[in-house]
Amino acid sequence: MDAYLLDWANLLLRWLHVIVAIAWIGSSFYFVFLDNNLLAPTADDLKKKGVDGAMWAVHGGGFYNPQKYMVAPKKIHTELHWFYWESYSTWLSGFALFTVLYLYNAGTFLIDKSLMDWSPAAAISAALGFLVAFWLIYDRICQWFGFREKGDAIVGALVFAVICVASWAACQLFAGRAAFLLVGAMIATAMSANVFFWIIPGQRKVVAAMTSGEKVDPKALAIHGKRGKQRSVHNTYFTLPVIFAMLSNHYGFLYTNKYNWAVLILMMLAGALIRQFFVQRHGWHHGRAANPWPFAAVGVVLILAVIVGMKALEPVPVPAAATTDTSKSVANNDPATLGSGPNNFKTVQHVLEQRCYMCHGAQVQMKNVRLDTPEGVKTNAQMVYQQVVVLKQMPMNNATGLTEAERALIAEWFKAGAKTQ
């Protein structure tokens, strides 16, 4: 596919994915808020109708009075609003984006040969296997342990352990950026599968039974509500970890870290704890739950620990002057010998030719960036500095072997004015 069209497909799919993800997350957050703020009715007419909880709210459009029935009301309106398109659209658009960006260009985005030198077909199969395997393992854990005594705690511990193993394995097998995104996609796949395989089918069975006109046994239908509630709660706690995993692939200092798998696990755990704070605070205000602030505090402490730990374990950078000694010979392929010093454009141009022209030259201009002319370098100098020196995202997975010395050389050239003459 033409690089220009591929970039457009990437942009439009990403746009769509963010739009529908906002809709899904928004509806999820709203119903968690609603469930935790419903109060038992005191009016006789509401009790007779079977209302289990109700609340009043005010918004820009007026006053709202949502009511919840644990058992279906005597009459269900045929125009029911179902909340599933957000989930399905989010997964489908996300998988399409994953296919266009990572699977279609597996050799560039998915594979890091310094970690695992395998074929694109093998890497793609392994990536898809992660998505399927996690769902199957997670689903079995929920079925086997979900409704036992202390089932929620058991399921939570086991699922967290599986995510830890998967995060470590992904970071050993795939390029760091792809590994982070793959773990997020793995959890997001389970979230959508919860909706597709359990929540919506269970709701359809309950609605069909209640609207059939026949006498139904509420206890027989209760299992669908229990399963749906269980998976819906899990989706709530998965939300912030998934968002972090998806956003983190824009920050090279995270996924290129030596302990990237630990960074991913701790940050996702912090997200889940902070989500618990927001869920529990609703009940706390009504005297139905314990103080949620310890969850927020632990989450923030974990984030701070990651920030401090990454800085403390950061390798000592090699001084640029030491890496650009002009006394070295061209025979050693030292770019510094090509000009009068690290600020000489010929020196930088030689590095770009070796490391960047493959994707940003005359034949291919990924992201519409061309670096094989002085004009192109001048136009994109700021971007080159950000992507190569600051974020260290380029070259992708360092496929062309850009050295720290060369990054330092580009940094000095840019800080000296990024001259191209």
Q: Are 387 and 329 found together in one domain? A: yes
Q: Are 272 and 148 found together in one domain? A: yes
CA atoms within 13 A on the CB side of 240: 19
Judge whether 3 lies within some domain: no
Q: Which of 1-5, 18-22, 159-163 has the lowest mean pLDDT?
A: 1-5
Residue with tokens 């590095």: 351
The arithmetic mean of pLDDT across residues 331-347, rounded, is 56
Judge whether 243 lies within some domain: yes
Which position has the higher pLDDT, 174 or 396? 174
Final residue in a domain of this structure, among 312, 331, 353: 312
Which residue range forms the structural domain that includes residue 361?
A: 320-415
Q: Which of 55-64, 89-98, 331-340, 387-396 has the lowest mean pLDDT?
A: 331-340
What type of residue sits at position 418?
A
Q: Are 127 and 161 found together in one domain? A: yes
Q: Are 296 and 336 found together in one domain? A: no
Length of the chain: 421
Phi, psi of 53 (to 5 degrees): -160, 150
Binned at pLDDT 50, 70 and 90, residue 337 comes out as very low
CA quadruple 13, 16, 19, 23: dihedral positive or negative? negative
pTM of the complete model beyond 0.75: yes
Q: Which of 158, 152, 291 is nearest to 234 (CA)?
A: 152
In this predicted structure, the answer to whether residue 12 has a pLDDT above a threshold of 70 is yes
Q: What percent of the chain has pLDDT over 90?
A: 48
In this prediction, residue 223 carries a pLDDT of 87
Kindly state the tokens that stand for 241. 């970890």
Final residue in a domain of this structure, among 281, 312, 343: 312
Q: Are 300 and 329 found together in one domain? A: no
Judge whether 238 lies within some domain: yes
| Angle ∠(309,168,100) on CA atoms, nearest 5 | 110
- Tens of pLDDT along 148-171? 999 999 999 999 999 999 999 999
In this predicted structure, the answer to whether residue 244 has a pLDDT above a threshold of 50 is yes
- Give Cβ neighbours of residue 133 (< 8 Å, ≥ 6 apart): none
In this predicted structure, the answer to whether residue 336 has a pLDDT above a threshold of 70 is no
Q: Are 224 and 366 found together in one domain? A: no
Judge whether 251 lies within some domain: yes
Judge whether 44 lies within some domain: no
Q: Are 239 and 380 found together in one domain? A: no
DSSP at 80: P
**Which H or E element spans position 411?**
helix 404-415
Judge whether 204 lies within some domain: yes
Crossing angle (nearest 10°) for helices 260-285 and 218-247: 130
Q: Tell me what percent of the chain is helix, strand and coil, each rounded to the nearest 5.
A: 70, 5, 25
Question: Is the preceding omega at residue 395 within 30 degrees of 0, hence cis?
Answer: yes
3-state secondary structure of 64: strand
Name, of 162-166, 204-208, 324-328, 392-396, the range with top average pLDDT.
Answer: 162-166
3-state secondary structure of 3: helix
**Spatial separation of the C-alpha atoms in residues 316 and 323, rounded to whole Å:** 14
In this predicted structure, the answer to whether residue 73 has a pLDDT above a threshold of 80 is no
Q: Are 160 and 239 found together in one domain? A: yes
Q: Which of 29, 14, 16 is nearest to 83 (CA)?
A: 29
Identify whether the C-beta of residue 269 lies closer than 8 Å to the C-beta of residue 302. Answer: yes
**Spatial separation of the C-alpha atoms in residues 142 and 103, rounded to whole Å:** 30
Q: Are 337 and 199 found together in one domain? A: no
Q: Which of 92-96, 160-164, 237-241, 365-369 has the lowest mean pLDDT?
A: 365-369
Q: Which of 177, 60, 174 is nearest to 128 (CA)?
A: 174
Judge whether 21 lies within some domain: no
Q: Are 208 and 353 found together in one domain? A: no
Instruction: Return the HEC string of 31-54.
Output: HHHHHHHCECCCCHHHHHHCEEEE
Judge whether 165 lies within some domain: yes
Binned at pLDDT 50, 70 and 90, residue 57 comes out as very high
Final residue in a domain of this structure, among 271, 293, 312: 312
Q: For the chain, what is the domain count?
A: 2
Q: Are 157 and 210 found together in one domain? A: yes
Could you please report the per-residue DSSP string of 112-178? -TTT----HHHHHHHHHHHHHHHHHHHHHHHHHHTTSTTHHHHHHHHHHHHHHHHHHHHHHHS-HHH
Which position has the higher pLDDT, 328 or 300? 300
Q: Are 373 and 235 found together in one domain? A: no
DSSP at 248: G
